[in-house]
Amino acid sequence: MNMPFFKYGMFGDEVSLIVAFVIGIGFGFILERAGFGSGKKLAAQFYFTDMTVLKVMFTAILTSMLGVYYLSVIGWMDLSMVYLTPTNIMPQIVGGLLLGFGFVIGGYCPGTSCVSASTGRIDGMVYLLGVVFGIFGFGEIFPMVSGFYNSTFMGQVTLPQFFNLPYGVVVFLVVLMAVGAFVAAEWGEKNMAKKAGAKK
Amino acid sequence: MSTLVQTSETEKVKSVSVPKPYWNPYLSGIGLGLVLLLSFVIMGRGLGASGAFSSGIAFVLEKIAPAHTNANNFYKEYLGDGTKSPLKDWLVFEVLGVFVGGFISGALGGRIKKTIERGPNITDRKRLMFAFIGGALMGIGAKLARGCTSGQALTGGSVLNLGSWAFMMCVFAGAYALAYFMRRQWL
């Protein structure tokens, strides 16, 4: 097996756009199935009343991480051919915080707002306008912020490389952490439900 | 009294439409993970969202103000060398699919509804204002971080990208830090 197929030239750019569209349909379908078209459900994550965001995100990361890892272990997939966004640690930390603010203020992230808008949510549509405005604003001030944007460059670096641990060990640690988070989430939801019940 | 109110409320909901329940979160997560894995296997890249909007913006601006747009390195990255349209881009097509997929799932589940998602203690106007501000912050943040929840957290997260994990922790930290001040919007 020569994975990723596209990198081995099994099909060209035109076909890759069809693949993109089909994968996007799957992505949007699942996001909506999970309840991510609803800003209320997404925001509930940050009030510990509904931990669906955490559960879905970490289950997805585990599934995909384990899949990629085992496909590379059995030699079907060349992990070095999978695109890795280079790390610029400071802009990514600041960007992450801004994104977190935007998430709890706006109720969505860019992907989920598409699903929200396409299922009729007005706030999702307005949020998308906000995203477009924000990106446009960033683009216009880019010449002024490009210094910070390109600062603290670390290149393509993974957690195993950074902590000097074998890849499999980090995979195992992520699984442990995720399972811990699931247990905490289930416990937290039950606890919050009890509290809400007591208040009534 | 409270039971009486509850029954009348459930009846009202039933008479309008009966949206089917969402999937179990772990099942949705496995589904989402498999879509992402498929993207890695077929394309050697993961999912994304915000990048598609950048391409769209660069495309429109180039039509309106070509000199201004081409002089800006941020837009230039999305415009490429000019040999092909910035809209013939992988993420643009993927995000079009996201709209379609979300609509299909919503339609099958009876969840298409023209509504505004908000808590009971905020007006529609204010909620829409916050939606716009949140979106704008997200747009800036996603560009600064070189990706959003899908491109960085999900995609980078599952290939153990260092920057993606730092980013993901900061998203949760930022959202929890501000949650208290936003409670009137949601609770």
B9 pLDDT above the threshold of 90: no
Shared domain for A79 and A91, answered yes or no, is no
Domain tally, chain A:
2
Q: Please tell me if residue B62 touches chain A, with a CB cutoff of 8 Å.
A: no
Instruction: For B109-145, give the secondary structure using H, E and C.
Output: CCCCCCECCCCCCCCHHHHHHHHHHHHHHHHHHHHHC
Per-residue pLDDT, averaged over B83-95, amounts to: 93
Does residue A165 form part of some domain?
Answer: no
Query: In this predicted structure, what is the pLDDT of residue B3?
Result: 46
Shared domain for A73 and A98, answered yes or no, is no
Confidence band of B84 (pLDDT split at 50, 70, 90): confident
Does residue A164 form part of some domain?
Answer: no
Residue-range definition of the domain harbouring residue A46: 1-83+172-200
Shared domain for A148 and A180, answered yes or no, is no
Nearest to A6 by CA among A18, A16, A14, A17: A16
Axis-axis angle for helices A52-73, A167-199 (nearest 10): 160
B156 pLDDT above the threshold of 50: yes
Confidence band of B14 (pLDDT split at 50, 70, 90): very low
Does residue A46 form part of some domain?
Answer: yes
Per-residue pLDDT, averaged over B149-157, amounts to: 94
Find tokens 């509804």 and name the residue: B113
Concatenated DSSP letters of B41-59: HHHS----SHHHHHHHHHH
Shared domain for A14 and A69, answered yes or no, is yes
Per-residue pLDDT, averaged over A116-136, amounts to: 97
CA distance B113 to chain A (A): 5
Query: In this predicted structure, what is the pLDDT of residue B40?
Result: 96
Integer Cα distance of A62 and A190 in angstroms = 24
Of chain B, the percentage scoring pLDDT greater than 70 comes to: 91
Shared domain for A108 and A148, answered yes or no, is yes
Shared domain for A73 and A90, answered yes or no, is no
Shared domain for A67 and A29, answered yes or no, is yes
ipTM: 0.95
Q: Rounded to whole angstroms, what are the CA distances from B103 to A25, A112, A200, B97, B169? A: 9, 12, 37, 10, 30
Integer Cα distance of A189 and A112 in angstroms = 22
Give the residue from chain A lying closest to B166, CA to CA.
A93
Q: Please tell me if residue A12 touches chain B, with a CB cutoff of 8 Å.
A: no
Query: In this predicted structure, what is the pLDDT of residue B17?
Result: 66
A100 vs B178: CB contact, 8 Å cut-off? yes
Q: Which of residues 93-132 of B touch A (CB under 8 A)?
A: 93-106, 109, 111-119, 127-128, 130-132
Please compute Rg for chain B using Cα positions.
Answer: 20
